[in-house]
Structure 1
Amino acid sequence: MDATSSTIGQAGAAFYFHPDTLARGKEIGLDGFRFYMLGRGGVLGDVESDVVASAFGYFNRSLVARIWNTAKERYNPGPREAAREYLECCANLGRSTLANVEGLNAFCEAAEAIIAAANPAGLSLYVGIAAEPRAEDLPGRALQLVAVLRELRGSAHLLAVITSGVAPEVAHAVKRPDAVATFGWDPAPENTDDDRANLDAAEALTDRLLISTYESLDDSAKAALLAGTQAIGAGLGI
C-alpha cells in the first residue's frame, strides 16, 4: 500500500485534464472543469449539488453548485452518461499509453480483488465509480481500475480527515496551497500546527482503514499489484 498509493493517486487522475479528455468534453459541450465535475461526480447519479460537494469534500459548496448545475444544463443526457463518457476517456488514455505494458492481466485481477474486499460503508464516490462497467480490453480496464483504487483511498482519506478534526478545506490548503482558489476558497483557509499534526494523523488513519483490504491479497497478488502499478506509472511517465 505504501509503495503504490502515490503512483495510484497520480495515475488515477492522469486523464482528468488530459488534452484528449478536454477535446472530448468540448465535443459534448462541456469545458474541462464542467466535464471533470459532471464526469467524476456523475457516478452518484442525477443528484443535488450538495451531494456532490459532500462526496468530493474539498471544494467550496457554492463552486460545486455553480459548476455542477450548469454542466447538467449543458449536457442533456445527464450525469450518469457523463460519467461513462469520462471513464471512456480514462480507458482511452490507458489504450494509448499502456498497450505494451506487461503484467496488466495480473494487475487487474489484484485490483479487482481489492475492490471485492473493500468495505464500502461511507465511501460514496468510490462506491459510485466501482459500480460502473469497465472496459474489456486490458489497457483500458487497467487504468480505469487505477482510477477506482484512487477513489477508494481518497474516499477513505476524507473520512479520516474529518475524524481527525481537520476541516476538509483546511486539509486541502495544507496539501495543495497553489490550488486553493481553484477549489473555490479565496482567501485561503488558515491552518495551524495542530491542523498539520492532525492531518498527519489522518494519513495514518487512512492506512488503518485500508490495510486489511490490501492484506487480503496473497503474496502473488501483492507482487502483481506492485509490479503493475510501477509499470503503469512508467507508461504514463509518472
Structure 2
Amino acid sequence: MPPANPWRDALNTVGSTFMTSTMIRSTSKEAGMPASALYFRGRVGVLGDVSTDAAFDVLGIFSRRVVDSVWERSAETAPQAAVDAYLDVCHRWGRENLVDDKAAARATVLLEQVLDEADLAPMLLAQGWQRAERPNDVPARLAQAAMAVREIRGGQYFAALGLVGLSVPRAMLVDPGAGAERMSTLGWNDDEIAEARLRQRPSDSGRWRDAQSALEGAFLGLLGDVVGEDGVRALGEALLAVQRVPND
C-alpha cells in the first residue's frame, strides 16, 4: 500500500523547518540583516539580483508590504552572499537534525533524481535551486534536495490556483490549514486581510479544493515521470521514515 500522502507534512518537515529556525534568524543578524531577511533574500537570491516586483511574484504568499520592507532593509546584501548563507543554514540544520541512515540516503537519491531530470521551465525558484551545487554528506544533501523539491510543489500550487482563477490571499482564507490567523503570522495586517475578504466569492472553497486536486495530480505526475510509480511509492515511504536526531 502506498503511504498516507507524505508530500505536504514530511517534505515540509525535512525541507523547510530550517527556514523558520533560530539558526536562520541568528545567521541573518550576523550578516547585518533583520532576523527575517535571510529567508527571503537567500531563497530568492538563487535567481540573482531581482527586483522587489520579481521577489513578490515568486514568493507568492506574502503581502507586497512585507516584501518591500525586507528588500529595503537588506538592500546592501549581495545575492550570492545571501544564497551562500541560506544554504549554510540549510546544511547545518540537516547535519544537526537528520539521521544518516538508509531511509535518508534513499530519499536523497530519489529527490536528487527528480531535480536532475524534471523539466521545471515554468517554475523559476525551483529551476534556480535545481541547478544549485550540492554538499557531500547525506543529511545536508537531503535537507537541500527536500527544500528544492518543495519549491517544485510550491510552483505547481501557484499554477493550480491560477488554473482555477483563485488569488493567493483568497486561497489562504479558505485553506483549512491557513486562514486569517496564518496570514497574520506571514505579515498580513488586518487591513490587508479585510481587503482579501472583500474580494472573496462563494465559489472560493470549491475552487481551492479543485486547485488542491490539480496540485496533487501534477506533483505526483511529475514525480512519476522521473522515478516511476514504484519510485514514487519508495520516495514517500523513505520521507516518512526519515528520522530526527534525538535531543539530549
Match of 1:186 among 176, 190, 196: 190
2:27 is the alignment partner of 1:30: no
Q: Percent identity at matched positions?
A: 23
Match for residue 232 of structure 2? 222
Residue of structure 1 equivalent to 2:5? 3
1:231 matched residue in structure 2? 241
Q: Which whole-Å CA distance do the structure 2 matches of 1:67 and 1:192 have between them?
A: 31
In the alignment of these two chains, the number of paired residues is 233
Q: CA deviation at 1:180?
A: 1.8
TM-superposed CA distance for 1:65, in Å, is 1.6
Contact 1:9–1:150 (CA under 8 A) maintained in structure 2:
yes
1:55-95 deviation per Cα after TM superposition (whole angstroms, max 9, x unaligned): 1112222321221232123x3xx122202211221111110
- CA–CA distance in structure 2, aligned partners of residues 133 and 72 of structure 1: 25
> Aligned equivalents of 2:97 and 2:173: distance in 1?
32
After TM superposition, give the deviation of residue 163 of structure 1 in Å: 1.4
Distance 2:58 2:24 in 1: 22
Check the 8 A contact 1:90/1:143 in 2, yes or no.
Answer: yes
Q: Residue 106 of structure 1 corresponds to which residue in structure 2?
A: 106
Aligned to 2:137: 137
Q: Which amino acid aligns with 2:236?
A: L
2: CA distance, partners of 1:149 / 1:85: 20
Equivalences for residues 1-238 of structure 1 within 5 A: 3-6=5-8, 7-73=10-76, 75=77, 78-175=78-175, 176=178, 177-181=180-184, 182-187=186-191, 188=193, 189-190=196-197, 191-216=200-225, 217-218=227-228, 221-232=231-242, 234-235=243-244
**Between 212-221 and 160-169, the greater mean CA deviation after superposition:** 212-221
Amino acid at match of 1:25: S
Bigger Cα displacement from structure 2, 23-32 vs 150-159? 23-32
CA change 1:227–1:208 in 2 (3 A) is closer
Hey, what's the Cα distance between the residues in 1 that align with 2:99 and 2:86? 20
| Distance of 1:231 and 1:193 partners within structure 2 | 40
For residue 18 of structure 2, give the secondary structure of its aligned residue in structure 1.
coil
- Report which stretch shifted further, 215-224 or 103-112: 215-224
1:161-202 superposed Cα distances (whole Å, 9 cap, x missing partner): 111110112112333221323333433121344111101111
- Compute the RMSD of aligned alpha carbons: 2.1
Please, what TM-score do these two structures have when normalized by structure 2?
0.85
Gaps of 5+ in 2: none
Task: Could you tell me which runs of 5 or more consecutive residues in structure 1 were left unpaired when the two chains were aligned.
Answer: none
